Structure 1
Amino acid sequence: MADFSLAGDPAVAAAVERELRLLDPEVRRSPGLVDALLHPGFHEIGASGRLWDRPSVIASLAAETGAGAPVAVSGMRGVRLAPDLVHLTFDTEHDGRRAHRSSLWRRAAGEWLLYFHQGTPSAPEGS
């Protein structure tokens, strides 16, 4: 994994570690592992514009097939917005598709859980 150098804030580091887990194809295909990373109130605006809730994301990820090419992550940035809230932004490239991404991680019962995610398609560099 890349070193994202996020100013040493342990809350940001925890959110980054968990975000990267969610991008791991093995984790994505395991409903139990995904469930453990999502806040009960999780929702997402996908890169397609589709609105997703927690159950639909878990089911969709579990249905992914194949070995799963790794997702390339770049530009990871994080900031703690409040004691129990971290905002991450980063870019991904997967299967020829690029996206700008934004995630909000909330600490609940001592665990950092993904509360909100949005992906926005982006053009390849140099376009």
Structure 2
Amino acid sequence: MSGPLKDLLAERARAAEPPRLDVGAVIESGNARLRRRRIALGTGTAGAVLAVMWAGSLVSTSETESDPGRLQPAAAAFADRQVTYALGSTIHYGDQRMDVAPYEVSTFVQTDSGFVFTDKAGEVVVTDGEATD
């Protein structure tokens, strides 16, 4: 860069005024944008929830009104919570005994359909009192 050009640029830079930046206005503008976005998001979410609830009520109402003589599903076989424990390869459920041999029960959980248990080797097994998978 030539000397006169450098001098000219330096002189103009010194003569220039610093930009006038209103930090408060910038922050307020950002806060207003954020507020609008949050309101829009909240309104949209509330609208979506209401739409799902409305659609669900229509479905459940139409199901019950369309066939009033419809049979209800049977109660699950193991829905009652009774005293339950396991010894060796036998699960005791109230007065019932379920043999799950050749497995030896290490831990188990009762479900409405039966039991899920692990054996000593850590294998996960399911039984409904009649069949063991």
Q: TM-score, normalised by structure 2?
A: 0.26
Larger Rg: 2
Larger helix share, 1 or 2: 2
Q: TM-score, normalised by structure 1?
A: 0.27
